[in-house]
Amino acid sequence: MSVEMGADAIGFIFAPSPRQITPEKAREIICGIPPFVQTVGVFVNEKPDAIREITGSCGLDFIQLHGDETPETCAEFMPQAIKAFRISDGSGLQSIRSYHGKIRAILFDSYDEKIRGGTGKTCNWDLAVRGKDFGIPMILSGGLTLSNIEKAISSVKPFAVDVNSGVEKRPGKKDHFLMKELMEKIRKVNHGGLLDD
């Protein structure tokens, strides 16, 4: 369904989560995805060898790291590495600088002390805009829904958006109607030139 709606990338969560998938199931799905639709594996503080094994067996295009991975760990996965940042205030922005040249993109997500993603909380867009100053392509995530996606894109002008809980009926169960409506809103904003940065 995501492919039919025009998604550029599809994420597979391998970390503990209501959305967690096994590598075997992910491989089965990925084998049915047409070429040029990117596949992204989401990991949290996973051992590098395990990430490499899953990436190879599933045929992942990118690796999204949502834990406490260091710049050195991220560099091991270049050019596939995307690093998620959950920054609660401006002082945390400087930590991004040390990842320059070691990741392909940064992903700004909402901050939660206990949960590493899929919280439904809206990311701080002002911080996300400031995070673009480090010269690394930025993906916006965190609490994106039908009601705020257009404003998020026009305010932050990210390279891409990552939507998860905002298109779910319940945790882990996507709602096809919400997905369709969200994609239509993204196309509308994108065609208006708001993503040209």
Instruction: Read off the CATH number of the domain in which 85 is found.
Output: 3.20.20.70
Residue 4 lies in a domain: no
The answer to whether the predicted template modeling score (pTM) of the entire model surpasses 0.75 is yes
Phi, psi of 12 (to 5 degrees): -125, 120
Residue 43 lies in a domain: yes
Beta strands in 33-180 (DSSP E): 38-43, 62-65, 81-86, 105-109, 138-140, 160-161, 168-170, 173-174
Residue 145 lies in a domain: yes
Q: How many domains does the chain have?
A: 1
Each of the 197 residues of the chain gets a pLDDT tens digit; together they read 899 999 999 999 999 988 999 999 999 999 999 999 999 999 999 999 999 999 999 999 999 999 999 999 999 999 999 999 987 777 778 889 999 999 999 999 986 666 555 556 788 899 999 999 999 999 999 989 999 999 999 999 999 999 988 898 888 889 999 999 999 999 888 765 444 33
Using DSSP's 3-state secondary structure scheme, residue 84 falls into strand
Residue 2 lies in a domain: no
Domain assignment of residue 17, given as a range: 9-190
Residue 1 lies in a domain: no
Residue 196 lies in a domain: no
